[in-house]
Amino acid sequence: MGKTDAILYTAEDNVDIYAHVPLSPHTIVKKVYLGYEPQGDIPEKPDHHKPLKLVMMARGIPEKGWAQALQAIQLLNAKQIQVELQAIYSPTEHMETLKQEYAGLTGVNWLGYLSNPAPLLAAALS
């Protein structure tokens, strides 16, 4: 897994987990709400020659935006933008349904629950 360019978080409690992970000084850390940055910054266009590496860690419930994230990956794939998503979630009926619905979606690694996600996050950030 290559270096992660950005971390997006939704709650201040989420930032605590990154205290245990060495971050590159170039890693962007931003808060988002329902997928949008509160400041409304326009993201840079991704480099189409390297995969967009994402790690999403959230409860496996509809309110966390899993379906929207997967739909976004579908759109990126359609535009020939390669995505690698590491999906960390609590096993739920909702996630099993999404896993079946998006079984053919390229670039999604359905990891499920990890008791210690710090090593995966460290690998993604290095």
Residue bearing tokens 């998503």: 85
pLDDT tens, residue by residue, 24-70: 777 777 777 655 555 545 455 555 567 888 899 999 999 999 999 99
Of 2-6, 10-14, 83-87, 94-98, give the lowest mean pLDDT range: 2-6
| Percent of the chain at pLDDT exceeding 90 | 40
The predicted structure's pLDDT at residue 42:
47
Averaged pLDDT score across all residues of the chain: 81
Per-residue pLDDT for 9 more than 90? no
